[in-house]
Chains A and B, each alone.
Chain A
Amino acid sequence: MNEIGNLNTSTSDRTIGFAARLMKGLHVDGPLLISLLLVSGLGMIVLYSAGGQNSALIIRQVTRLALAMGAMLLVAQVPPNYLRMWAPWLFLAGTGLLVAVLVTGQIGKGAQRWLNLGFFRFQPSELMKLGVPMMAAWFLHRRRLPPSVAELLVLAVIVFVPTLLIAKQPDLGTSLLIASSGIFVVLLAGLRFRMIFTLAGMALGALPLIWHFMRDYQRQRVLTLLNPESDPLGAGYHIIQSKIAIGSGGVFGKGWLNGSQAKLEFLPESSTDFIFAVLGEEFGLMGQLVLILLYLFIVARGLYIASQGQDTFSRLLAGSISLTFFVYFFVNMGMVSGLLPVVGVPLPLVSYGGTSMVTLMAGFGILMSIQTHRKLLPQ
């Protein structure tokens, strides 16, 4: 049928048709893939400048991206049912590894995050970025929603045990993301507003407790946020320099490769956590808005996929992954622009560094799987 129809169409139409079939066959969601590639492309451009025009850096980042895309494709082939069945095992394995890291973990960057498996080193906390929302969604899958108080307690254990284990490493940024991903599952499951406000109030009351358990450098980051000028050469240096970079970019920026803050190394960690400031300096408000719109499109597409999900597990998981992605870039932008404490969350797909990119793309693979494995149901 198709062959006949295509006789009269142009070559480009045929190409599009071919591409569409290929993407469907590979379980790829076109809009998501394209927007992810656009963000990554923009990221490469900024990274090239931020990293001091080092092409080796870009090659490494492209390699990593390719690897992450491969992981995404791989996950996209797995039907959501299988993901659901694996969820508890993934979660248990991840929690076990977190404990193992705390017990035997090697010290890297002053924090115990890595597990040496002999041939490669691996961060179990990355596993839990997907493991926690999957487990929470699995737990709620067959239950009547919204969850009861008893069920909430079980969910609290599912979410906060890994969160605390990771916070103890200490990796505040990741534990924050993992806690959010779990909480989003619960919120999307229809937790009553009365309950939400009660819990939020309790969380607010627990703030002093959290303060008590924070490390000195973590407290310092919070204090510095409140008054960065108090310590301009110490903890406040990042925020001050980052604000200068963004602010001096103006509406249209200083132009690509012309940002002096990063070039002169006034801006620390300019190719990793603070790369958003480089974007702001060189491309101005406009460049940042483009990136924000691309990110928002990805979130929107993810939420759309979630709302089209055919079972509770798929919906909750897809919704959580999309909203967690939002938290990812929101927290990074917030900290770089001096709205939030510096918690060490990279700008997704833009910051240099690969440990989190694979997990991130695997998450998008789950979204694609959910979108492309839908069965036609009778209305």
Chain B
Amino acid sequence: MIGNIALKDHWREQRMFVSRVILGGVIALVLIGVVVARLINLQVTNYEHFSALSQGNHVRIEPLPPTRGLIYDRNGEIIAQNLPAYQLELTREGVKDLDETLGRLVSIGLVKESDLERLTGLILSRRKFEPVTLNYQLDDQEVARFAVRRQEFTGVDIRARLIRQYPFGEITSHVVGYVSSMNEADLKRSDPSAYAGTNQIGKLGIERAHEANLLGKVGYQENLVNAQGRALQHTPQQSPVAGDDLISTLDISLQQIAYEAMGDRRGAVVAMDPRNGDVLVFASSPAFDPNQFAQGLSRSQYSALQNDPGIPLFNRALRGQYPPGSTVKPLIALASLQYLKENPSKKHFCPGYFTLPDGKHRYRDWKKDGHGQMDMREAIAESCDVFFYEIALELGIDKIHDFLVTFGLGSLSGIDIPGEKPGLVPSRAWKKSAFSRREDQSWYPGETVIAGIGQGYMLTTPLQLAEATAIIAAKGKRYRPRLLAGTRDPLTGEVSELPLEELPPVTVDDPYYWTIIEKAMEDVLHGPKGTARGSAAGASYRYAGKSGTAQVFSVAQDEEYEAEDVPEHLRHHALFVAYAPAENPEIAIAVVVEHGGGGSTSAAPVARKVLDAYMQSYKP
């Protein structure tokens, strides 16, 4: 062919094409050779390795959750237990038409329509033989409703599991706490493998503090699975070990009486045994139902609790900080005996007010016309303010501070549940460090004066008040307050009691000082002019105590305070501390009623009910 250069040269193009095709074929062969080499590498060279891995894939490790330990009160009453609950599960491979099945479950009310989309996604994301929980909490009616239709729902079944249940509900919520699903913070503070299969962790109170005892040890089983992935054989590698049962120091019947005596009022009751620190009552009101948390709380339920004006989630017994008011007076009196060698019979005149030596500042007594001549015993029994203004000023704030802290005020008691607040006992040093402005840092004599009646900066928790009262009742002996008395092995039933923790006692130069204070506190209830004598009327036993009223807002110097005229949220907090029986104390109690008005009228009757119940079984 005589070619114009621009013309196509078909023969040349064909030859070139063939050479390119051959080249392409060769390259393809080389590339497929690489694949074959790779396959030989996997299947021949590394056969053993992959074969072993494939064998490993036959075995699924399944965690076996341990049974959580039970919690008993001191008399063997169960206060936290595990009850079977029923949940609805669906296994995809057993279901013919997923949407239709779910639709029918919605129509009989076992699955919420709003959950459908989420559940469908969840089911499709799981392997077809893995059950998916549709409803965690079926009540008896729902179980029955499903049971009669069971044959219509292949692939859907009911499974029992254990959930935590608190028979006393809100009565124990703050002290026993509750278990709930782990959140991110829980995952950080715990070993995730210890929670494989449970996912429930103690969140509050005893449930949280003694988590390590209650939890138990997770077990594992190896499931050999067949070609369909169904477990053929369960080989328990390691059985789960149930958690220890706990024996609490609480007396649940007293706890119940205390909680019910509070009614719908806000406040706290703490009672303890002065002889060993055992906490018998630890109630905060209002409370919440811990069972809701254990079963899973909806967002709206939780926000309702959070927004409740009564703050039911707040543990007032442990974290509520209140001025102690007049309940601190016995301690101030004791301090004056110890430090000033004050003669208890010496009379102080109470004109109804106290004036600082500068003559400018005047402090009123709660009794407008004054108490007249008062010795120490009368001053405590009648709660004379002027008497304590005088001796407080004489003591000075630093001595007051040093003495009060030996009773555990102003610092954590070290009770065995978390979250405690320390309260506050002011001193010069404290004020210097607490305020930044220089003029705020210096201590004024007037602040010492009101500290004498438990006002001003001073703050105490109901737990601290109970502890301080217990120390008076025990004449200075001191034990760390505790909620856990012992543990019990659920298998052997063997109980191991926890040792008591005795703390350095409060010592005074003359043991007679204790007697003076104790007699005066007895007079509060049984004396002819005792401030709380009304609440002790008809008691078959003698007890000792002290009422208190803590100011929520300051009354101006010459203003009068009438409880009736003040809106409830500005009314004073009512406080009362006591121990019984007076001659051989076994129980010390502190009651705080927020905005309750007078301590003797609203807090003392609560204490009386608890003490009555305790004394019923009292054998001298």
Interfacial residues, chain A to chain B (CB-CB below 8 A): 142-146, 184, 187-190, 243-251, 257-258, 260-261, 263-266, 280-281, 284-285, 288-289, 292, 296, 299-300, 303, 306-307, 312, 315-316, 319, 323, 326, 330, 333-334, 337-339
Residues from chain A with a CB closer than 8 A to the CB of B229 are 263-265
Please pick, from A188, A249, A265, A330, the residue contacting B20 in the complex, using a CB distance under 8 A: A188
The answer, yes or no, to whether B147 is at the interface (CB within 8 Å) is no
- For chain B, residues 124 to 161, give those with C-beta under 8 angstroms from any C-beta of chain A: 127-128
Q: Give the top 7 A-B pairs by smallest Cβ distance, nearest first.
A: A247-B50, A248-B54, A247-B42, A190-B16, A248-B50, A263-B227, A248-B51
**Closest CB of chain A to B367's CB: distance in Å?**
76
Residues from chain B with a CB closer than 8 A to the CB of A184 are 24
Please pick, from A244, A306, A333, the residue contacting B53 in the complex, using a CB distance under 8 A: A244
| Given A144-B6, A247-B42, A264-B225, A289 and B50 contact (CB-CB distance below 8 Å) | no
Residues from chain B with a CB closer than 8 A to the CB of A248 are 47, 50-51, 53-54
Interface contact B7-A334, CB-CB below 8 Å: no
Measured CA separation A288–B36 after assembly (Å): 9
Q: From DSSP, what is the main secondary structure of chain B's interface residues?
A: helix
**Closest CB of chain A to B470's CB: distance in Å?**
56
> Number of contacts between A and B (CB, 8 Å)?
131
Residues from chain A with a CB closer than 8 A to the CB of B540 are none
Interface stretch of the complex, out of B26-34, B96-104, B307-315, B411-419: B26-34
Measured CA separation A299–B16 after assembly (Å): 19
Residues from chain B with a CB closer than 8 A to the CB of A247 are 42-43, 46-47, 49-51, 53-54
Residues from chain B with a CB closer than 8 A to the CB of A244 are 50, 53-54, 57
The answer, yes or no, to whether B537 is at the interface (CB within 8 Å) is no
The answer, yes or no, to whether B557 is at the interface (CB within 8 Å) is no
Residue in B40, B44, B54 with the greatest tally of chain A CB atoms within 10 Å: B54
Sample of 20 further A-B pairs with CB below 8 A, known A246-B39, A264-B58, A303-B25 = A188-B21, A188-B24, A189-B17, A190-B13, A247-B47, A250-B43, A250-B51, A251-B44, A260-B58, A263-B227, A264-B229, A266-B57, A284-B43, A292-B36, A296-B32, A303-B24, A306-B17, A307-B21, A326-B32, A330-B28
Interface contact B28-A326, CB-CB below 8 Å: yes
Residues from chain B with a CB closer than 8 A to the CB of A266 are 57
The answer, yes or no, to whether B617 is at the interface (CB within 8 Å) is no
**Closest CB of chain B to A108's CB: distance in Å?**
16
Interface contact B51-A319, CB-CB below 8 Å: no
| Given A184-B24, A248-B54, A330-B31, A265 and B128 contact (CB-CB distance below 8 Å) | yes
Measured CA separation A247–B56 after assembly (Å): 14
The answer, yes or no, to whether B298 is at the interface (CB within 8 Å) is no
**Closest CB of chain B to A59's CB: distance in Å?**
18
Residue in A247, A261, A266, A316 with the greatest tally of chain B CB atoms within 10 Å: A247
Please pick, from B20, B32, B49, B57, the residue contacting A264 in the complex, using a CB distance under 8 A: B57
The answer, yes or no, to whether B297 is at the interface (CB within 8 Å) is no
Residues from chain B with a CB closer than 8 A to the CB of A263 are 227-229
The answer, yes or no, to whether B340 is at the interface (CB within 8 Å) is no
Residues from chain B with a CB closer than 8 A to the CB of A188 are 17, 20-21, 24
Interface contact A280-B43, CB-CB below 8 Å: yes
The answer, yes or no, to whether B193 is at the interface (CB within 8 Å) is no
Which residue of A is nearest B7, CB measured?
Answer: A144
Interface contact A319-B35, CB-CB below 8 Å: no
Residues from chain A with a CB closer than 8 A to the CB of B20 are 187-188, 190, 319
Residues from chain B with a CB closer than 8 A to the CB of A258 are 227
Measured CA separation A285–B42 after assembly (Å): 9
Measured CA separation A92–B432 after assembly (Å): 86
Interface contact B8-A144, CB-CB below 8 Å: yes
Residues from chain A with a CB closer than 8 A to the CB of B227 are 257-258, 260, 263-264
Residue in B31, B43, B49, B228 with the greatest tally of chain A CB atoms within 10 Å: B43
Which residue of A is nearest B227, CB measured?
Answer: A263
Residue in A260, A284, A312 with the greatest tally of chain B CB atoms within 10 Å: A260
Measured CA separation A250–B28 after assembly (Å): 25
**Closest CB of chain A to B576's CB: distance in Å?**
60
**Closest CB of chain A to B33's CB: distance in Å?**
10
Measured CA separation A302–B406 after assembly (Å): 99
Interface contact A339-B34, CB-CB below 8 Å: yes
Measured CA separation A261–B9 after assembly (Å): 57
| Given A260-B57, A264-B227, A307-B18, A323 and B24 contact (CB-CB distance below 8 Å) | yes
**Closest CB of chain B to A49's CB: distance in Å?**
10
Interface contact A245-B54, CB-CB below 8 Å: yes
Measured CA separation A162–B127 after assembly (Å): 38
Measured CA separation A115–B243 after assembly (Å): 61
Measured CA separation A289–B24 after assembly (Å): 21
Measured CA separation A264–B127 after assembly (Å): 9
Please pick, from B17, B32, B44, B57, the residue contacting A307 in the complex, using a CB distance under 8 A: B17
Which residue of A is nearest B13, CB measured?
Answer: A145
Q: List 14 A-B contacts (CB under 8 A).
A: A144-B7, A144-B8, A187-B24, A244-B54, A246-B42, A247-B42, A250-B44, A258-B227, A264-B57, A296-B29, A300-B25, A319-B17, A333-B35, A337-B38
Interface contact A285-B58, CB-CB below 8 Å: no
